[in-house]
Amino acid sequence: MTVSFLQKHFRINIMLLFKVSGIRKILYFLSFLSIQQSFAGPPFITDDPEPVEFKHWEYYISSIGQYQKNLYSGTLPHFEVNYGLIPNVQVHLILPINYNYINNRTFQSGYADTEFGIKYRFVQETDNMPQISTFPLVEIPTIKDSRFSNGKTQLYLPIWIQKSWNKLTTYGGAGYWINPGTNNKNWIFAGWEIQYDFSKLLTLGGELYYYTATTTDSRSSVAFNLGGFINFSEKVHIIFSFGHNLTNDNFFTSYAGLLWTI
């Protein structure tokens, strides 16, 4: 959904957060949840370089979640639209309804930032060459809500590559986030995914990803997701993933959504 809506939740609402143990960890995990929302190649955080076909659409209604002790946070839901504007070029929009649920008693929701991006494939895949794209994303403060946004515009500059062999596809890449704001740091994300088409109905895959610290009091980490697609038809798909960190602080992530392609 990805992956990103960076540094959104509870950056200023400190009094409420001090009621929860591990305040710095919570702020860090909330910021990382935003990472997933912004550059996810649904249902994974790592994106692929393949744009939507010319004059075709993708519509997503999805929910991303991150869970740790005393804290649930994510989108419920978010809406994503992709359109093949011209050959090899896709325009992208995400509209997220964010939520936080703390200590099983405090629930918050709201809209803050809008994500816009353009994916451009500049190398076509051949027998000996992967396809390569860039997919800049910008997080645009839209509605003032300090619970889910610091009010700063953020920019992501990645490169993605992909190669397929019959039913097996693998893709990945890396990018640099420009992340302004108090105590924020510019940071790097890198990930790689592999998936296999078991049938026309089912595709399963997994990813491994790494990100550097996003704030002055956070840490870099390595994590994974497993997931896939259930293809009810050429147009209707259920997509899902779930994952966990492998290093540093403990968190669990999930993605569930409906994809409609036309």
* Residue 20: band (very low, low, confident or very high) from pLDDT cuts 50, 70, 90: very low
pLDDT number for residue 75: 96
pLDDT number for residue 92: 98
pLDDT digits (tens, 9 = 90+) for 161-177: 999 999 999 999 999 99
CATH numbers and ranges of domains, the chain = 14-261 (2.40.160.40)
Token pair in block for residue 196: 């296999």
* Residue 14: band (very low, low, confident or very high) from pLDDT cuts 50, 70, 90: very low
pLDDT at 37 over 70: no
pLDDT at 63 over 50: yes
The answer to whether the pTM exceeds 0.75 is yes
* Residue 130: band (very low, low, confident or very high) from pLDDT cuts 50, 70, 90: very high
pLDDT digits (tens, 9 = 90+) for 88-128: 999 999 999 999 998 878 899 999 999 999 999 999 999 99
pLDDT digits (tens, 9 = 90+) for 171-214: 999 999 999 999 999 999 999 999 999 999 999 999 999 999 99
pLDDT number for residue 16: 34
